[in-house]
Amino acid sequence: MNIEQLRIDTPAVAQLIHFNNAGAALMPAPVIEVMTRHIQLEASLGGYEAAGKQSAELENVYCAIGQLINAQPDEIAVIENATRAWDMAFYSLPLQPGDVVLTSPTEYAGNYIPYLQLKQQRGIEIRVIPNDEHGQVSLSALKDMLDDDRVALISLPVIATNGGPVQPIEQIGALARAAGVLFLLDACQGVGQMPIDVQKIGCHMLAATSRKYLRGPRGMGFLYVERSLCQNLEPVFLDLHAASLQTAHRFKIRADARRFENWECNVAAKLGLGAAVEYALAQGVEPMWQRIQQLAGYLRQRLTGIPGFTPRDLGIQKSGIVTFTHRDSSAAQLQQWLAGQEKRINVSTSTFRSTLLDMQHRDLLEVSRASLPRTTLKQKSTQWLPR
Ligand SMILES: Cc1ncc(COP(=O)(O)O)c(C=O)c1O
């Protein structure tokens, strides 16, 4: 991986330290170029005409995403964010009263709320898989929970929004497959940060976003649905892109995963997502993941030695999202202090509102979140810490 080139492609790193990749990363130059060019094309030709000219590039977005996660292009839907992509899969599942959804304590509130809604509307049951002694999903507990044949779905994030463990998703996928239970993976914080291979994981559905570790534009995401499942899953919403009108009384839903899309979209952002995926592929996801883990490990180690700071990440394998609390300062105070003119360091705060179960369990209201990018230089990664 050419760190120097990465930094040249990300000019803002000369002025600031952006440790908010779990929020929204800095887009690299090739992504910005593709999007700017398309907006200029729209301005000079018209929106539809510009899209027509880019039809091959637009098709290529599906191929690039497929390559990134080891799926086929027809198993990909490009949707405006991870939440809506996830919703399209989840709400389309034919869950019946009494069906059980298994999730992890690290579940994102944006996914947990839909569980509660279907609990109210359809009478599904939510069960939370306990953590093991390392703070990640207990595989033995999951195995036992899968003995109940009312379990219809396992649904959890590979990496939570508030840091914590990288969940053992391949083992979870293997257990799901063995039990004949669907597995919906929220890979929002994983895609672009770590290798995600849907064949190895064995998940049936996966939702992700463009703007975080993948470094694509905001307002873009995607959904993967395994081909054999896709045609049995009727999208909760349909339009004239997802389906076609055959007669005045009949419509036909398209066969591929684009049945979960809708017609109008931000074409420049879609092309930007494709460029971000290609950028990540060109660098190699595995070396990126190694580097991110190395930098995050270094930061955690440095934090441990500084009085007042408590690192908060659990799990055997940890991600690039480093979370911590400070004895005397709130997360908002730290965020403001670090963002100050001299330091210009972007970190964020993650509160119990995003991951209520996990935060309650750990008796935390908030954590500071420094989500490290691959562009960081090691000597810079702790220059901001009080000595
Ligand atoms: C784990 C996780 N899942 C889902 C989402 C939602 O993603 P989006 O904002 O793209 O809908 C987030 C956003 O922070 C997240 O961290």
**How confident is the model over 93-112, as pLDDT tens digits?**
999 999 999 999 999 999 99
Pairing of strands 182-186, 159-160: unpaired
Q: Whose CA is nearest to atom 16 of ligand 1?
A: 161
The mean pLDDT value for 311-319 works out to: 95
Q: Which residue do the tokens 């803002």 mark?
A: 12
Give the helix ranges, DSSP H, for 123-247.
139-145, 169-179, 198-201, 227-230
Model confidence pLDDT, tens digit, residues 11-41: 999 999 999 999 999 999 999 999 999 999 9
Atom of ligand 1 nearest to the CA of 209: 10
Mutate to test the pocket of ligand 1, among 107, 188, 215, 220 (most ligand atoms within 8 A of CB): 188
Q: Select from 80, 87, 158, 161 the residue to mutate for testing ligand 1; criterion: most ligand atoms less than 8 Å from CB.
A: 161
Q: Give me the mean pLDDT over the 135-140 stretch.
A: 97
Give residue 307 CA to ligand 1 midpoint distance, Å: 32
Confidence of residue 343 (pLDDT cuts 50, 70, 90): confident
Q: What is the pLDDT of residue 215?
A: 98
* CA 159 to ligand 1: nearest atom: 1
5 CB-near residues (< 8 Å, 6+ apart):
none
Q: How confident is the model at residue 385 (pLDDT cuts 50, 70, 90)?
A: low
Burial class (CB within 10 angstroms; exposed 0-12, middle 13-18, buried 19+) of 167 = buried
Q: How many CB atoms lie within 10 A of CB 135?
A: 19
User: Is the pLDDT score of 384 beyond 70?
Assistant: no
Check residue 386 and give its pLDDT. 52
Query: pLDDT at position 307, please?
Result: 93
Q: What is the pLDDT of residue 387?
A: 47
Share of the chain above pLDDT 90, in %: 94
Residue 23, pLDDT score: 98
| pLDDT of amino acid 175 | 98
The confidence score (pLDDT) of residue 383 equals 60
- Ligand 1 atom with the smallest distance to the CA of 81 is 10
Ligand 1: residues with CB < 6 A are 81-83, 108, 110, 157, 160-161, 186, 188-189, 209, 221
Q: Identify the residue whose C-alpha is closest to ligand 1 atom 7.
A: 82
* Average pLDDT along the chain: 95
Structural domains of the chain in order of their starting residue, each with its CATH number: 3-27+284-380 (3.90.1150.10), 30-282 (3.40.640.10)
Note the pLDDT of residue 373: 85
Q: Mean per-residue pLDDT for 141-147?
A: 98
Q: Where are the alpha helices (DSSP H) in the chain?
A: 3-8, 29-45, 47-53, 55-69, 82-92, 109-122, 139-145, 169-179, 198-201, 227-230, 267-283, 285-304, 331-339, 356-361
Is 255 exposed, middle or buried (CB count within 10 Å of its CB: 0-12, 13-18, 19+)?
exposed
pLDDT on residue 1: 80
Q: What is the DSSP letter of 129?
A: P
- Predicted confidence (pLDDT) per residue in 149-168, tens digit: 999 999 999 999 999 899 99
Tell me how many degrees the CA angle 128-131-134 measures, rounded to the nearest 5: 165
Is the per-residue pLDDT at 380 higher than 60? no
